[in-house]
Each structure stands twice: as structure tokens, then as C-alpha cells.
Amino acid sequence: MNKPIGIFDSGVGGLTVAKAIRDVLPNEDVIYFGDTAHLPYGEKSPEAIRNYSMGIADFLVKSGAKAIVIACNSASSVATELLRENFEPQVPVINVIDPVIRAINPSIHDIGIIGTRATIGSGVYQDKIASIHPNVAIHALATPLLVPVIEEGLEKSEIATKTAEHYLGLPEMQKIDALIPGCTHYPLLTDLFNQILGEETVLMDTPNIVAQHVKEVLTSSNMLNGGVQEGSASFFVSDFTPTFERIARHFFRKEIQLSELDIWK
Amino acid sequence: MNKPIGIFDSGVGGLTVAKAIRDVLPNEDVIYFGDTAHLPYGEKSPEAIRNYSMGIADFLVKSGAKAIVIACNSASSVATELLRENFEPQVPVINVIDPVIRAINPSIHDIGIIGTRATIGSGVYQDKIASIHPNVAIHALATPLLVPVIEEGLEKSEIATKTAEHYLGLPEMQKIDALIPGCTHYPLLTDLFNQILGEETVLMDTPNIVAQHVKEVLTSSNMLNGGVQEGSASFFVSDFTPTFERIARHFFRKEIQLSELDIWK
């Protein structure tokens, strides 16, 4: 089906998911909406997040999206059901939490989960892991410095190294044999995390897990793009930010189309 | 006058001002309100900040405050006039921006100003410096990593050192002969800043400047506490946070009284 995959987040984080989808499904078109005017979602009420998410999903579907990927932990946590009620089965809705929880290897004993204060405080990962993998011990840690480090463009700096070493060196992280980077920004620190965790601890590749799930859903719904040429990517933000442009350019290499658009006007 | 000085901020930052007031006026009582339920103010609309500030000032005055210190850059910027209209001349209102601008030494050629993205983006320091000191060149830089580093309790860590070195090493900071730490959190990094800036560059001691101004205002209004015993300090927050308790304990040493209070109920 020659229609784009719609992806949204409150900002740049979802670009890691968009990039993974592009890697797994290179000839799909993607249309991305970053709600930079309202970020961070983590500090908004569930009602506000649902309201923003519905507005964006509506925009994506009206723009032709055949599927919606909620590439934001806060919106995944509170808006998935609402979007499913409104858009499925015509337009499948995929979030960034459930496929990752399902992908936890049954051999794991102690799983670490890191995320923003809002995500860890909400307990969404902890609750979902406990209900599907009741024998896994969960070690959750809020790591609020990581997002601002990435948004400052410092992910390759010594500041990033010291910060990641600090968090992963805390007692609660010492027993884990797998780590979920529970924030869509964190894949920008994958190399650093792997270096600190060493070979004994599995770093879950969350964007790839989500992208593989998108592929499965499109395949089973007969919605894959049958074309062979490279898909297009367009990016919309509700408020232009240099960080968004920098990371989108970094991930998608060539010139990207970035448009500011107030869908609430 | 045997009544407390009321001080407020959106969170812990104003504690640096409260501490300086305690150092300069050791036998004054202080009553502090941290609006932790609504922080950070930098991301709220001016209307919302004015609304919160009025509610808090009202609470402080009803609790007996003889003066109000707005120990928050965002509220200083948008709510000073409103509070003056409502509470002066009975209760003088002092903010954390104007005394600092007035204290800039006329021999300064190039002044640096660092702050949150909201403070620097608002241009409040730049505009006020330009109107009072038209010949001073202004070098403004948003330093958004510093507040989360402090709120994580990492102000003595190598992360803080690397982060401060990064910001103060940027080109816009190379020519300055004085630096305004334009965020009430930053005095927790005073030693580090002085170490990096060296002796050539003056780090303005903003909490002390504000505290000296409070002393002048109380003196000229005949409102100083004539007692000789050490003043009391009470702390209210709209939402309990361990960071607030940690920094308040650190600054005020002995056991502090910390109460959670929803003044909007």
C-alpha cells in the first residue's frame, strides 16, 4: 500500500524510532510530527496528552497515514487505547512500550529500566513487566539528566560519559542482566551504554524492536509498500527547534523537509 | 519589626537567596514557599506565573510577612509589578533581577549572563542591562543542563565540572569580565564557576546582592527586627520533593521545618 507510516512524539526522541523504521522498511514513506510546542509531555496531565495525541493522529490520518506509531513513552502510556478506539482497524496503532515488554527474553532474571522522572514515576513499565513476566525482578531508575544532555547535542561528550557512568554505576543497576532504555532519546547513547554495561548485560534495542513490530503489523494487514524505490520522509513540528533539525539531519542524512505547522489553529 | 520576611520560588533555587538573607540578617525570621507543584515556572505562561505568584504572596502576607522577596527569575520578570500594585507600600516587594542589574560595576565592558532557556530567551536581563548600562556589551547564553545537574544533587561531581567547563568554554563567554549567574540555582556552583573563570572575571554574588538590598529596604522602612536572637525559618512546598529537603537541610544545617501545603485548595 503506497501510503505513509505516521509517527509522532513530543519532540526529537521519536526520530530514533523513525530511523529504525526507515532501516527495517526502507521503501516505506514516513511522515513524522514532533509536537515541540507542547514538550515535554511527561509533565502534562493525561487529559492534555490524550488531547494532543488525538489532534496529531487526526492530522496524520488526514495526511494519508496507513498506520500510526506513537513514538513517545508518555503518549504510549495514556493515549494508546483512545487512538485504537478511534482509528483501528482501518489504521493500526503501535506504541513504543508493548512490543518491548513482549520482547523481554524469558531467560532474564533482573531487568533494569531507565527513563525520565515522569515515565519511571508513572510505573507503566514496572506494571506491564510484572503482569507479563511475573518472575522477573525489576530495577527502575529515573535518569533525568540524559534527555537534556542529548538535547544540548552533547551525546558524544565527556559530560555524557560521566553522566551515563553515574547512573549505570548506582546500586540499583548492579544486578541487571538486561536494560530497557525507556525513553526514545536514549538510543542516541547506545554505544556509550554498551561500553559501560559490557558484554554481560543486554541493552534492548527498543527502536529496532518497535520497527520489527511495525513490519509484522503491516505484513499481516497486507499494507506493505510493494515499491522498490527508497521511501520519502517528511517532518512536521509544532514549533521549530534547531535540536530537531540537527537530529533529523543526522539520522536522515541528506536534506530533510522540515515544516512548522500549527495543527491546532 | 518582629515579623518574618516572605520568600518564594517555584522550587529550591530561591533557597540560595533565603540563605543569603539569613547570613546578612541573622535575627530575621523567614518564611519560604516553594511552588514545587508548578515548577518549572520558565515553561508556564506569564498569566499562569502571575496567578501563582499572587496566590503565594497572598499566603505569605496572611502569614504575617512584612516584605516579599520574589526569589525566582521567571516570576521576577512577569509578576513584580502586579505584586507591587497589590501589596506596596505596606509590604515592600523585592525581586532577584533589578538589584543585580543596578549592582553592575560601571567599569565592566563585557558582561556574561547565563540562565535557563526560558530566562535567556525572554531577554529580560539583556533589556534591563541595555537600558541602565547602554555601553556594556552583553553576552547571553542559555545553560539548560545546570539546573538538572543541581537538582540531581551532582553539583560536586565531575559531571558538574565538565558541564560548567563546557558552557564557560564556549566562544560567547571568552571576552567577558563579569558573569551574572542568572538563575537562583547557580550559586550552588559558585566555587566551580570561580575556579573556571579565574581571577580576571568577576562572578557576581547575586544572592548576597539581593540580601543586601533587602536589608536596605527594611532599614529605610524601619522594619528591621530589633531582637538579638537567631531568627526562625519555616519552609512550605506545594509538593514535597526530596531535593528540596536535601538543599534546605544543607543550607540551614539543623533540623528544618518543612510542610507540604496546597494553598490553592
Q: Is A142 on the interface with B (CB under 8 A)?
A: no
Q: Which residues contact A150 (CB under 8 A, 6 or more apart)?
A: A12, A160, A185, A186, A188, A189
Query: Chain B within 8 Å of A75 (Cβ-Cβ)?
Result: no
> Same CATH fold, A104-203 and A5-96+208-260?
yes
Report pLDDT for B250. 80
Q: With beta carbons less than 8 A apart as the criterion, state whether B186 and B193 touch.
A: yes
Residue A40 preceded by cis peptide, ω within 30:
yes
Contacts of A149 in chain B (CB under 8 A): 145
pLDDT digits (tens, 9 = 90+) for A12-26: 899 999 999 999 999
pLDDT tens figures, B9-20: 998 899 999 999
Would you say residue B97 has pLDDT above 70? yes
Partners of A32 in the β-ladder: A7, A235
Please state, in angstroms and as integers, the Cα–Cα distance from residue B170 to each residue in A61, A153, B94, B182, following that order.
44, 14, 33, 17
**Could you tell me where the DSSP H helices lie in chain B?**
15-24, 46-62, 73-87, 98-102, 117-122, 124-132, 146-151, 158-168, 190-197, 206-220, 242-252
Q: Does A162 touch chain B (CB under 8 A)?
A: yes
Q: Which residues of B touch A43 (CB under 8 A)?
A: 43
- pLDDT less than 70: residues of chain A: 253-255, 265
**Residues linked to residue B115 through DSSP beta bridges, in sequence order:** B142
- The helix/strand/coil state of A33 is strand
What's the confidence (pLDDT) of residue A118? 84
What is the Cα–Cα distance from A68 to A96, expressed in whole angstroms?
Answer: 11
Interface list for A 18-47 with B (CB within 8 A): 43
d(CA A65, CA A192): 35
Rounded Cα distance, A217 and B198, in Å:
60
B257: which residues sit within 8 A by CB, 6+ positions away? B233, B234, B235
pLDDT greater than 70 at residue B222? yes
Q: Does B48 touch chain A (CB under 8 A)?
A: no
In this complex, the residue of B144, B148, B158 whose CB is nearest that of residue A162 is B158
The answer, for B153 touching chain A at a CB cutoff of 8 Å, is no
- Domain boundaries of chain A, sorted by first residue: 5-96+208-260, 104-203
Give me the CATH topology for the region A5-96+208-260: Rossmann fold (3.40.50)
Residues B150-197: pLDDT tens digits? Answer: 988 899 999 999 999 999 999 999 999 999 999 999 999 999 999 999
Q: Which DSSP string do the residues of A56-101 spell out, in sequence order? A: HHHHHHHTT-SEEEE--HHHHHHHHHHHHHHHTTTS-EEESSHHHH
Instruction: Find the largest Cα–Cα distance for chain A.
Output: 51
Chain A residues with CB under 8 Å of B168 CB are none
Among the four given CATH numbers 3.40.50.1860, 2.60.120.460, 2.30.30.100, 3.40.50.300, the one describing domain A104-203: 3.40.50.1860
C-alpha distance from B10 to closest chain A C-alpha (Å)? 15
**Full DSSP string of B140-180:** EEE-TTHHHHHHTT-TTSHHHHHHHHHHHTSGGGSS-SEEE
Q: Is B155 on the interface with A (CB under 8 A)?
A: no
Contacts of B149 in chain A (CB under 8 A): 145
Task: For an interface test with B, give the residue of A10, A141, A147, A152 to mutate (most B CBs within 10 A).
Answer: A152
Catalytic positions of A, written as ranges = 72, 183
